[in-house]
């Protein structure tokens, strides 16, 4: 049993590729991402086998096409159909050897029609290997001004830092100490405090770093990340989407106590302030649980042990998360 | 205490096999017809050169229902039209016994799970063809 010869035989693969990750694995690697030394993406697609020989197609693609495929917006058929140069490399290897036994240049037009993937040959995330990449890709679509893009970047970094904090105790005591007796007076201050606080809570080395950016419409933004934290961010966004009404209800319960507390401060009504500060705890705990936090103490401690500021911190985090979700829901910025 | 069929290889993979339950119930698998021992070779042996030798590659891929297996097969064949040449083009079912090995918790969405066989297990007599896929 042998494989039918396809394409025009080459002596060797004319491009050097480095393995990045396995995207689909089912009784063998079916789909994998490779990169050239300059970062150009290729997909390796399992195509055929005969006895000990396996044939894979190496498809040169683009950052955006790959991101769209991973987002379920492009099928494998589209990826092959849009292969750069209108051709792929067909690489035959023995199962027990790394060196290919045959490499061929295969124009897509020569691919037998019955072996072209179906129209709905979409990515199956459930087949991805548990080993996760240390990069977070955000697929951008629609109109993005520089200002909006910068805002998206800040929001992602803030949510990331907040969730990194939830798993560690990198609280900067100097910042938390200053926050202990600070009174958050208005919306702008509230947001700025959140931004400043999350910015200083984690050492700069642990914040996500921009790895690459390909901006067009659509475009791609890539960060170097800690895989576990990046996973938490994606899960948090997914959760707020799945539990939209419930989640907002908990946020509004906390937010209304915070607004009332602000009014009590303005009136100088110390009794009401003390009472309302006590009543923050319950809705804050409920919102924290809704958002998946097991231990709210870390949030209190980040706020210098001040429940009022802790409540503001949590409420602002919710708004940041909801904003990221709204970009995803509108298909403007999807985390892959 | 039962010893895993690939105990020596699993020693190099921390936490492998994961927490498993004793095998039981009916399971479904893609096979060739007629069924032979080749239909129950773990991926790690079938594809020795691949880097992706995760723990699951030392297990036998199974599904908890005919429907779950068919759904996955139909999904795979859309992307990889030749997949039948690698996985087989028949669906078989078999009753698993605790003496066969330990099974992982089935994936909630796909119904897929892995059997980590004990030494001496031969699944060929336990499985029968259900139909051609």
Band (A194; pLDDT cuts 50, 70, 90): low
Domain count of chain B? 1
Burial code of A31-63, b = ≥16 C-beta within 10 A, e = fewer? bbbbeeeeeebbbbbbbbbeeebbbbbbbbbeb
Tokens of A29: 């690697």
Our CA angle for A149, A150, A152, nearest 5°, is 65
> Cβ A95–B46 below 8 Å, yes or no?
yes
Task: Give yes or no for residue A319 having a pLDDT over 60.
Answer: yes
Which contiguous run of DSSP H or E holds residue A51? none
Which contiguous run of DSSP H or E holds residue B105? none
Q: Give the global pTM.
A: 0.71
Query: Tens digit of pLDDT for each residue in B72-103?
Result: 999 999 999 999 999 999 999 999 999 999 99
Q: In which domain, by residue range, is B65 found? A: 19-39+60-132
Query: Which residue has better confidence, A318 or A135?
Result: A318
The beta strand positions in A36-134, using DSSP E, are: 41-50, 53-60, 87-94, 100-107
Round to whole Å and give the CA distance between A59 and A88: 5
CA distance A324 to chain B (A): 26
CA distance B12 to chain A (A): 16
Round to whole Å and give the CA distance between A27 and B61: 7
Tell me the mean pLDDT in the region A63-92.
91
Round to whole Å and give the CA distance between A290 and A248: 10
Number of Cβ within 10 Å of residue B11's Cβ equals: 10
Which chain A residues touch B if contact means CB-CB below 8 Å? 19, 22, 24-31, 45-50, 54, 76, 93-98, 114-118, 120-121, 124, 126, 129-131
pLDDT for the residue numbered A98: 73
- B5: in domain: no
Band (B1; pLDDT cuts 50, 70, 90): low
Query: Tens digit of pLDDT for each residue in A276-287?
Result: 888 888 898 888
> Cβ B80–A45 below 8 Å, yes or no?
yes
Tokens of A308: 């009022």
Question: How high is the ipTM of this complex?
Answer: 0.89
Query: Tens digit of pLDDT for each residue in A4-14?
Result: 889 999 989 99
For chains A and B, CB pairs below 8 A equal: 76
Average pLDDT of chain A to the nearest whole number: 82
Task: Give yes or no for residue A262 having a pLDDT over 90.
Answer: no
Q: Would you say B100 and B123 are in contact if contact means Cβ atoms under 8 Å apart?
A: yes
- B85: in domain: yes
Tell me which residue of A296, A294, A292 sits closest to A307, measured CA to CA. A296
- B75: in domain: yes
Residue with tokens 């490499």: A103
**Cα A166 to Cα A187, A208, A288, A298, B116, distances in angstroms:** 24, 16, 11, 7, 36
CA distance A49 to chain B (A): 6
Q: Would you say B82 and A28 are in contact if contact means Cβ atoms under 8 Å apart?
A: no
Round to whole Å and give the CA distance between B86 and B63: 17
Round to whole Å and give the CA distance between B39 and B29: 9
Query: Tens digit of pLDDT for each residue in A94-141?
Result: 877 778 899 999 999 999 989 999 999 999 988 877 655 677 888 888
- B110: in domain: yes
> Cβ B87–A19 below 8 Å, yes or no?
no
Tell me the mean pLDDT in the region A292-311.
72
- B34: in domain: yes
**With pLDDT > 90 as the criterion, what percentage of chain A qualifies?**
27
Using CB atoms, pick whichever of A24, A95, A130 lies closest to residue B47.
A95
Which one-letter DSSP state was computed for residue A1?
Answer: -
Highest mean pLDDT among A190-204, A309-323, B30-44: B30-44
Query: 3-state secondary structure string, A193-259?
Result: HHHHHHHHHCCHHHCCEEEEEECCCCEEEEEECCHHHHHHHHHHHHHHHHCHHHHHHHHHHHHHHHH
- For residue B44, report the phi and psi dihedrals to the nearest 5 degrees: -60, -25
- B101: in domain: yes
Query: Tens digit of pLDDT for each residue in B109-130?
Result: 889 999 999 988 999 999 999 9
CA distance A31 to chain B (A): 10
- B55: in domain: no
> Cβ A47–B72 below 8 Å, yes or no?
no
**Closest-CA residue of chain B to A25:** B52
> Cβ A28–B86 below 8 Å, yes or no?
yes
CA distance A35 to chain B (A): 16
pLDDT for the residue numbered A170: 38
Best of A19, A26, A79, A128 to substitute, by most chain B Cβ atoms within 10 angstroms, is A26
Using CB atoms, pick whichever of B46, B76, B109 lies closest to residue A26.
B76
Cis peptide before A171 (omega within 30 of 0): no
Tell me the mean pLDDT in the region A140-169.
78
């Amino acid at each position: 049993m042998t494989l039918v010869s396809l394409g025009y035989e080459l002596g060797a693969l004319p491009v050097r590729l480095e393995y990045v990750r396995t995207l689909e694995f089912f009784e063998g690697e079916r789909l994998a991402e490779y990169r050239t030394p300059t970062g150009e993406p290729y997909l390796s697609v399992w195509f055929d086998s005969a006895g000990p020989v396996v044939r894979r197609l190496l498809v040169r693609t683009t950052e955006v096409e790959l991101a769209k495929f991973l987002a379920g917006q492009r099928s494998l058929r589209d990826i092959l159909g849009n292969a750069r140069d209108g051709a792929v490399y067909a690489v035959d290897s023995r199962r027990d050897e790394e060196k290919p036994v045959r490499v061929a240049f295969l124009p897509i037009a020569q691919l037998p029609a019955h072996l072209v993937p179906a129209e709905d040959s979409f990515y199956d995330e459930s087949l991805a290997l548990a080993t996760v990449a240390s990069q977070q890709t955000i697929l951008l679509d629609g109109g993005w001004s520089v200002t909006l893009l910068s805002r998206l970047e800040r929001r992602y970094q803030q949510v990331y830092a907040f969730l990194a904090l939830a798993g560690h105790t990198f609280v900067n005591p100097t910042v938390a100490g200053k926050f202990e007796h600070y009174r958050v007076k208005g919306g702008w201050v509230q947001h700025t405090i959140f931004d400043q606080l999350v910015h200083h809570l984690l050492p700069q080395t642990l914040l996500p770093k921009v790895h690459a950016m390909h901006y067009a419409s659509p475009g791609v933004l890539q960060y170097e990340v800690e895989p576990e934290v990046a996973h938490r961010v994606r899960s948090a966004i997914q959760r707020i989407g799945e539990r939209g009404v419930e989640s907002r209800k908990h946020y509004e319960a906390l937010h209304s106590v915070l607004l009332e507390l602000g009014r009590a401060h303005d009136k100088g009504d110390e009794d009401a302030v003390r009472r309302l500060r006590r009543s923050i705890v319950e809705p804050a705990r409920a919102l924290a649980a809704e958002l998946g936090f097991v231990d709210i103490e870390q949030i209190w401690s980040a706020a210098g042990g001040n429940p009022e500021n802790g409540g503001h911190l949590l409420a602002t985090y919710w708004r940041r998360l909801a904003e990221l979700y709204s970009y995803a829901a509108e298909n403007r910025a999807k985390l892959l | 205490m039962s010893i895993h069929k690939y105990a020596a290889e699993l020693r190099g993979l921390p936490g492998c096999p994961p927490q498993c339950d004793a095998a039981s119930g009916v399971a479904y698998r893609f096979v060739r017809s007629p069924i032979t021992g080749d239909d129950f070779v773990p991926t790690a042996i079938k594809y020795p050169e691949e880097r992706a030798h995760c723990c699951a590659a030392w297990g036998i891929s199974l599904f908890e229902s005919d429907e779950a297996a068919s759904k996955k097969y139909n999904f795979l064949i859309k992307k990889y039209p030749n997949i039948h040449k690698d996985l087989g083009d028949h669906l078989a079912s078999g009753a698993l016994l605790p003496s066969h090995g330990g099974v992982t918790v089935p994936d909630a969405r796909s119904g897929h799970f892995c059997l980590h066989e004990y030494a001496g297990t031969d699944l060929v007599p336990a499985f029968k063809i259900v139909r051609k896929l």
